[in-house]
Each structure stands twice: as C-alpha cells, then as structure tokens.
Amino acid sequence: MTAAVYMAAAGKNGIREIAQLNHDKAVYLKNALVGAGFSSVYSGAFFNEFILKAPAGFAAKRRELAKKHNLYAGVPLESYYPDMLDHYLFCATETVPRQAMDLLVKEVQ
Amino acid sequence: MTKPGTTGLIFNEPELWEKSREGRCGISMPRSDVPRADLDPALIDEAPELPQLSELDVVRHFTRLSQWNFCIDSGMYPLGSCTMKYNPKTNEVQAARKGFVVAHPLAGDEFSQGALKLMYELEQLLGEITGFPAVTLQPAAGAHGELAGMLMIHAWHAKQGKQRSKILIPDTAHGTNPASATLCGYKSVNIKSGPKGILDPQTVAEAMDEDTAGIMITNPNTLGLFEENIQEVCDIVHAKGGLVYGDGANMNAVMGIIKPGELGIDVLHLNLHKTFSTPHGGGGPGSGPVAVVQDLVPFLPVPRIQKENGTYSFITDCPDTIGRMHTFYGHFGVLVRAFAYILTMGGEGLKRASQLAVLNANYIKESLKTTLDLPYDRPCMHECVFTDKGVQKHHISTMDMAKRLLDYGFHPPTVYFPLVVDAAFMVEPTETESKDDIDQFIEAVKAIVKEAASNPDKLHSAPNLPKVTRLDEVGAARKPCLKG
C-alpha cells in the first residue's frame, strides 16, 4: 500500500530524479571518505551502497559518532564475511544532507 | 432506530495511468547539494512507465478506493473467527514514533536497545498472559506461528530419538492446522467433535497412539465453544508421549480468565493482529508469536533476546533451535502496537475485554436464537454460530442473508465456516461494539428473516446499495480475470 502511494506520487520522472540523487550523494560520500583515509575495495559501478575498508580506530569512532551525533556510519561486514575485518557497507540516499556527510568525514579525518 | 446503511454519492475512479499527464509529479524533490555524478550510460535504461500525477490526484485516487471498502471505522464488522474489533488509534501513534519507524534492523544491538527492550518485555507480557515461560515474536502471522510450533514439536520428537508420523486434528480446529502439520511431514488424523460441539476425551484416547506426535486444538474452537475437557485431553496425549499444540487465535475470548500453559498445552500461538490491536483488513502485516513450555525452549527460533546486566542483545548460539522463521525479528510495527495495547489495557482491562467479547456474543446468540437456527444451544465464547435451516423453506440461503446485511449497513458475518455446521452464519461482535450497535445488528437480522418470507427476491438480488452488487463468485473462481 505504502509502495503504491509512493510510486504514484513520485511518478515516472520523480523516481528517476530520486535515483539520480541517490547516486550523486553516494559518489560524494565515497570520494570524501576515500579522501579521509578509507580504502576503496571494489572498482565496479555502484548505485547508492558501497564497501570501504576503514582506517585503524574507526570502530571506536563509529560508536562515538552514534552517541554524539546520532550518526550511524556504515554496517560492519565482519559478522557476515569473516575475512572482511574493518570493512563497512556505507549507503547514502536522497534523504541524507551534505552537512551530515561532511560532519562524518570531518570526524573520521 | 435508523439503520446505518443508506445510499450516498460514491465516486468512480479510473486507473492511475488514465489520470497521468506528462510532467506532473506529486512530491517535492529534495534539493541537490552535491555535484551530479552520471552513471555509465550503458547501465541506464528508460525511466519506468509510472503514472505522472499531482499530489491531489494521488490523494483523491486512494481516498476514493478506500471508500469502496467496508471498514471497522465505518460500521460493525462481525466477521466470525476474524476478530474485526476496533483498535485504539493511540496504538497507531505509538507504532509511528520516529524512534521505532527509522530503527534499522542491521543497526546492531548497541544502537537498538529500545527496540530490544520492547521485544523482550513483550515476550514477558505474552508469557504472563498465556502462562508459558518463553515466547518467540518471529512468526509473521497465525499460520506461520503454527508452522513454527509444529516444527518445534517435530524437533522435540527427533531429539527424543524417535520421530512420529501422525497428528490429531479435531473437526473444530482452524483450517490452517492440517496444512501446518503436513508441512512438517505429519499425516493429519481428523477427530470428530462430540454432540455438544466439543472434544470427547474418549475419542481422543481411541485415536492417540505412540506413533502420534500430538494434537492441535483450537480453544475456544471454531464453533465458539470452550473445550471443557482440555485438561483431560492433554493428559491423554501426554500419557502416550505426545505434545499438545494450542491454536490461540481465539485468545481474545479468554485473556485473564485462563492461562493455556497451566491447562496442559505445550505450544501456543497468538494472533497479535486479532487480539492485540493491529488492524488486519487489507492483508496485514500480522504477527503470530509462539509460547512454549520449558522443555521446548531449546527449540525456539533464533535469534532470541537476552537481558544481561540491564543490556539487551540477540543470541544465536542455540544448538537445538529450529532456526530462523523470518528475516530480521518479525513484524516489528505490530509488536509495538501490541505492547502499547497491553500496557494501556492492563491485566484487568484485558480480562474485561474478553468478558465483554463473550457477553456480546452470548447476547446476540440469545437474542437471535428464536429467529435463526442455533445448532448448539449452549453458552458460547466470543462468537456464535447459526444456520439457514429456518429460512430454507423460502429458498433463502445463508449467502442471501449475508448479502442483504450489507444493505442494512453491516459487514456480513463469516459464512459457510466452520465446516462442521451446514451453511454456518458465524457472528463475532467483539468487545468493542456498544449495546446500541449490537441491537441495531440484531434488528437488521430479524428484519431480513421477515423479508425472507414476505419478499424473498429482495434477498436474492442483494446487496443493492454497495458500489458493486452481487458478484458471480462461481464465475470468479472458475474463470478468474486477473487484470483490469
């Protein structure tokens, strides 16, 4: 029901624009995090989710970000893929403002 | 008294694509605050052919469609076995709280303490209501809960070293019970209820043997009657090494009055969407928590929730578990509604709800038993079952009476179920209808039975007032048309 109303409201052009915004934000966040010391893991195309390897000390920083800024930075992948220690799945959608992404990058630098 | 059903303006509404106009969009797009990043053109296709509509187009479309439906907010909905009761709006407000709505299932225990605490405490509350030491909230709805419960019974027998092949199911059990047992590899053995409409322990004793895994009992049963011999039946099944599955879909009749766990039931599912305040018109989502006795705790689905030093976490290290029954942790929004409902009602409130549900059903039974045929004339629980025996001489059926009720402004009761009664007309008023509304319903049924004798064609052609009149149900079943 919710999905039907959402698709009707967004429509053909709206859904396309939302998709573009998702990708724009995800590319911005990925580039910014790589600039802050994270490592890109895959080189293929992505939409709004991507995996990065975090620098040392990120796990503690991540907890602090949640407490201090209500900012939930990435899903740790180790419990799903044991060989992916320090790897995180990030996502940015049309709902995430640049300000929040900039804050994350500033905090992890 | 004015009958609620009347004529009125009903709007036609085309399909969304018919209203579509190039360039319209019903939402305000977030402003872009980052540089555009184009995808490889080889990966991009045309935009999906969604309709292009203004916000008002969308609002009118779905509002009009909603007005084609009968709902509990517009009228009495006495659909037996479905418990279409009014659900307080405050529970919708609690479920819509931002902290719950935006909680992410992958956020991890440390970021989800509120949600985990709610689930942990709801398990305790449901355990207290039903009399069991442990509960899982995972199953998606009633029949899914049955499957979870039967998988645990199956796993328990396997652990004892000898699997069994059969399961006893009375003819007054819910129709989903045999399906759930079959999915676990059990062969269903049908048990006939006695002349009073309830199980005769002797019949169970004759059927129960050491190749039978147990029995699945719906209590109150689908005739709306309480299984008075439940403890004796449990003893018989246990004596042969079997387990007792309790279908608690009708728990709304006995909350605060009995605890199934204290009667000898080993596994019980509840329908939160029936008993504990979730609107379930439109197909869900539902929620079918399962409560178990201590011996079955090791078999509960994972993850389970534990509380240690005031902190809540998921545990998965349970070697005998039947595994996962649902992605993530069940239908969380339904759990919030149930939690809010139980806390606002309190123990006394829940008991009062059950008492009123039973009182209302008995009031209808007594008020209509000289108007309609009543096959089991004895105190009922939350629903009562009539038949069309008295009006058949006018060539009027249960279906004709049900359809005519729509013209009077009432949703029809459940018809032709339970199967144990011919042409059943099964009324469940629930605790939330006032005496005034119930009296209106009773008067409507009496008027319809009079019409059956004086003007039977009025019933044959009914309903006349709804947007869609009598549907060709046989045609729809035999030659279904699945597109517009």
- Does pLDDT of B3 surpass 80? yes
- In the structure encoding, which two tokens stand for residue B21, read together? 């106009």
Mean pLDDT of B278-303: 90
Dump pLDDT digits (tens) for A39-48. Answer: 999 999 999 9
Q: Which of residues 104-123 of B touch A (CB under 8 A)?
A: 104, 106-108, 110-111
B4 secondary structure, DSSP code: S
**How close A24 comes to chain B (CA, Å)?**
5
Mean pLDDT of B138-144: 95
Q: Is the torsion defined by CA of B359, B361, B362, B366 positive or negative?
A: positive
- Does pLDDT of A55 surpass 90? yes
Contact list in A for residue B92 (CB cut-off 8 A) is none
Which ipTM score applies to this complex? Answer: 0.95
Contact list in A for residue B32 (CB cut-off 8 A) is 21, 24
Q: Does the beta carbon of B41 lie under 8 angstroms from any beta carbon of chain A?
A: no
* pLDDT confidence tier of residue B484, bands split at 50, 70 and 90: low
A21 → closest Cβ in B25, B30, B53 = B30
HEC letters along A49-74: EEEEECCCCHHHHHHHHHHHHCCCCC
In which residue are the tokens 């019949």 written?
A: B203
The whole model's pTM is what?
0.94
pLDDT at B472: 87
Cα–Cα–Cα angle for B292, B295, B301, nearest 5°? 55
Dump pLDDT digits (tens) for B54-100. Answer: 999 999 999 999 999 899 999 999 999 889 999 999 999 999 999 99
pLDDT at B280: 76
- Transcribe B219-284 into DSSP letters: SS-TTS---TTHHHHHHHHHHTT-EEEEEETTGGGTTTT--GGGTT-SEEEE-HHHHSS---TTS-
Dump pLDDT digits (tens) for A65-78. Answer: 988 998 999 999 99
Chain B's closest residue to A28, CA to CA, is B34
C-alpha distance from residue A3 to each of A8, B45, B66, B240 (Å): 8, 22, 16, 51
Contact list in A for residue B108 (CB cut-off 8 A) is 76
Contact list in B for residue A73 (CB cut-off 8 A) is none
Contact list in A for residue B40 (CB cut-off 8 A) is 45
Mean pLDDT of A13-34: 97
Dump pLDDT digits (tens) for B337-346. Answer: 999 999 999 9
Q: Which of B171, B212, B205, B167 is nearest to B189 (CA)?
A: B167
pLDDT at B282: 65
- Is the CB of A8 less than 8 angstroms away from the CB of B35? no
Q: Which of B329, B53, B481 is nearest to A4 (CA)?
A: B53
How far apart CA A72 and CA A88 sit, in angstroms, is: 11
- Does pLDDT of A38 surpass 90? yes
Average pLDDT of chain B is 95
pLDDT at B283: 65
pLDDT at B106: 87
Mean pLDDT of A83-99: 97
Between β-strands B212-218 and B166-170, what pairing exists: parallel, antiparallel or unpaired? parallel
Mean pLDDT of B471-480: 88
Mean pLDDT of B162-171: 97
pLDDT at B279: 78
How far apart CA B210 and CA B229 sit, in angstroms, is: 21
**How close A10 comes to chain B (CA, Å)?**
6
CB pairs A-B closer than 8 Å:
88
- Is the CB of B58 less than 8 angstroms away from the CB of A15? no
* pLDDT confidence tier of residue B281, bands split at 50, 70 and 90: low
Mean pLDDT of B121-143: 97
pLDDT at B260: 98
